[in-house]
Amino acid sequence: MNTENNQWFAEWFNEDYLKVYSHRNDDLAAEEIDFIIDTLDLKPDLPILDLGCGGGRHLRQLFLRGYRKSYGIDLSTSLLREAAKESQTSGNLIRADMRSVPFKTKFQAVLSFFTSFGYFSTEEENLGVLKEIRSLLLSNGKFVLDLPSIAITKSLVPRSEKVIGYLRVVEERQYIAKTRRMEKQISIEGPEGTQEFLESVRVYSFREIRQILAEAGLSMVGVWGDFKGNCFSHDSSRMIIFGMRNDACVVLNG
């Protein structure tokens, strides 16, 4: 498996990604947004940012619930094109890199859904994303990070194959303990040949994520194992973190 592509995220999130992950749909996003609105007590009149909004499924749900000051940023032009099909949200989408988000607006919440964090090959860059989240938040603003948990690395299916329309998709997975990254090689065979993509995500333990959040001036308030409100435990496959901008923490850490 080739795990050497540091820019994998700029290649993989394309039209094929939307096909392979079509089960991650608006119905699931609706449940997740209901949970988040309720738990974070989000106000319809204050801005919200979906960081790595992809095809816009969460943004659509926010708009449907009257949260019209919601914005999405993403690096992928293909996914933003998909998100812009919904005319109501199309004016609230911006192409940007999550390491440097060009917004002067401060948000009541920054939301990062479905493993949109831990993409960069250095810890400085991943920490940089958290610092960026902090700088985008209002004082006492809230954030959500929806991450894979360490437990999932112990039950990875090494190889799977599926057919989606006229595409044959082969996915090979491994966890590399040395780099603490989950790697997936995706091979998509279609009428025009075969394309190869890589997915490479840093997987954080509970302790590690709490540490890196603190370094960024963010504090963890609660952790769930799913969007139904079940608490995170060491066998949860997801680690859904709710936290806040912590101004005191930054003063203390200098």
Work out which of 61, 89, 92, 116 binds ligand SAM, going by CB under 6 A. 116
- Spatial distance between the Cα atoms of 119 and 7, rounded to a whole number of angstroms: 9
Any contact of residue 75 with ligand SAM (CB under 6 A)? yes
Contact pick of 79, 144, 147, 223 for ligand SAM (by CB under 6 A): 79
Q: Which of 26, 82, 97, 189 binds ligand SAM (CB under 6 A)?
A: 97
Q: Which of 8, 67, 107, 113 binds ligand SAM (CB under 6 A)?
A: 113
Question: Smaller CB distance to ligand SAM: residue 146 or 245?
Answer: 146
How would you class 204 by CB atoms within 10 Å of its CB: exposed for 0-12, middle for 13-18, buried for 19 or more?
buried
Binding ligand SAM (rule: CB under 6 A), the pick from 19, 24, 81, 106 is 24
Q: Are 25 and 32 in contact, with CB atoms under 8 Å apart? A: no
Asked if 127 touches ligand SAM (CB under 6 A), the answer is: no
Length of the chain: 254
143 binds ligand SAM (CB under 6 A): no
The one segment of 51-59, 60-68, 158-166, 226-234 that binds ligand SAM by CB under 6 A:
51-59
The residue range among 71-79, 174-182, 184-192, 203-211 that interacts with ligand SAM, by the rule CB under 6 A, is: 71-79
Name the DSSP class of 233: -
Q: Residue 226 class from Cβ within 10 Å (0-12 exposed, 13-18 middle, 19+ buried)?
A: middle
Cβ atoms of 29 and 60 closer than 8 Å: yes
Nearer to ligand SAM, 136 or 246 (CB): 136
Cβ–Cβ < 8 Å for 73, 59 = no
Residue nearest to ligand SAM (CB): 54
DSSP characters for 169-214?
EEEEEEEETTTTEEEEEEEEEETTEEEEEEEEEE---HHHHHHHHH
**In this complex, which beta carbon is closest to ligand SAM, that of residue 227 or of residue 232?**
227
Interface with ligand SAM includes 227 (CB under 6 A)? no
Instruction: Name which of 2, 226, 233, 229 is nearest 114 in CA terms.
Output: 226
Q: Which of 90, 115, 121, 205 touches ligand SAM (CB under 6 A)?
A: 115
